[in-house]
């Protein structure tokens, strides 16, 4: 420790010597070593430097999504805390969704997985992915062609409802089946 400190002291002395006049009585000291110029201002939000606009969030195709929800009861299944297991209610909902999708072979579906706020950002992205996959796998087992389905996780970034309550958290732990046109 002492050695380290002494070397720091000596280094500091060296900087002072190289940076300033030796005669300390002459004031002010001449300009010492030049500091590097500040960084050039980067181009911000110039055309082409930002990822192209993204259709984030629900990309549903209006009336079809309404028909889907009407037929299946809901486009959303809920999960327990830190879980991606499908309970009996979720299975029934997904079964009804699969039944509707079987009659509409031209429709594609993206399953969005979400988490409540009670997990770290990174972990929740992975958890949302697990939930979306759990729903997708169940739909596939019910006969929906996997090629028609894709998954995306938003982690805790897009809660359905705001609030730090048990009820809000329960509604945010979800997988949403969103019909897409492409």
Partner 1 sequence: MLTPIALTPIALARILLLLLLAAPAAAQLRVDITSGVDAPMPVAVAPFPTGVAVATPAGDTAALGRQVAAIISGNLKGTGLFRPIDAAAFPAPAMADVSRPGFQPFRTAGAQALVGGFVTANADGTLTIGCYLHDVFSEQELVRQGFTVTPAGWRRAAHKCSDLVYGRLTGESGYFDSRIVYVAESGPRTRRVKRLAVMDQDGANHRFLTSGQALVLMPRFSPVNETITYMSFANDRPRVWLYNIGTGQQQTVGDFSSMSFAPRFSPDGGTLLFSVTSGGNADIWSYDIGSRRQTRLTRANAIDTSPSFSPDGRRVVFESDRGGSQQLYVMNADGSGAQRISFGDGRAGSPVWSPRGDLIAFIRMVGGRFRVAVIRPDGTGERLLTDSWQDEGPSWSPNGRVILFSRTERNGRSTLMSIDLTGRAERRIPTPLEASDPAWGPLLP
Identify residues 149-178 at the interface with partner 1 (CB under 8 A): 152-154, 157-164
Identify residues 1-20 at the interface with partner 1 (CB under 8 A): 2, 4-6, 8-9, 12-13, 15-16, 19-20
Identify residues 90-149 at the interface with partner 1 (CB under 8 A): 110, 117-123, 125-127, 129-130, 132-134
Q: Are 58 and 160 in contact (CB under 8 A)?
A: no
Dihedral class, residue 82 (left if φ above 0, else alpha if ψ from -120 to 50, else beta): left
Q: Find, among 37, 51, 49, 102, the residue nearest to 72 by Cα.
A: 102
According to DSSP, the β-strands at 108-114 and 149-155 are parallel
Select 75 or 129, whichever has its Cβ closest to partner 1: 129
Q: How far is the CB of 55 from partner 1 (least distance, A)?
A: 6
Under the criterion CB under 8 A, does residue 179 sit at the interface with partner 1? Answer: no
Classify each residue of 59-68 as buried b or exposed e, where b means 16 or more C-beta atoms within 10 Å of its C-beta. Answer: bbeeebbeeb
Q: Which of 53, 106, 147, 167 binds partner 1 (CB under 8 A)?
A: 53
Q: How far is the CB of 139 from partner 1 (least distance, A)?
A: 14
């Amino acid at each position: 420790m002492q050695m380290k400190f002494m070397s720091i002291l000596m280094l500091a002395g060296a900087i002072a010597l190289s940076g300033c006049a030796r005669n300390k009585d002459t004031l002010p000291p001449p300009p010492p070593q030049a500091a590097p110029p500040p960084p050039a201002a980067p181009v911000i939000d110039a055309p082409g430097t930002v990822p192209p606009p993204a259709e984030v969030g629900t990309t549903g195709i209006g009336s079809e999504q309404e028909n889907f929800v009407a037929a299946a009861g809901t486009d959303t299944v809920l999960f327990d805390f830190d879980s991606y297991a499908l309970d009996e209610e979720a299975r029934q909902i997904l079964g009804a969704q699969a039944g509707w999708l079987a009659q509409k072979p031209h429709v594609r579906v993206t399953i969005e997985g979400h988490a409540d706020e009670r997990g770290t950002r990174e972990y929740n992205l992975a958890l949302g992915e697990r939930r979306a996959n759990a729903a997708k796998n169940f739909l596939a087992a019910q006969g929906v062609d996997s090629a028609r389905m894709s998954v995306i996780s938003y982690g805790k970034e897009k809660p359905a409802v705001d609030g730090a309550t048990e009820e809000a958290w329960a509604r945010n732990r979800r997988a949403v089946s969103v019909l897409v046109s492409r």
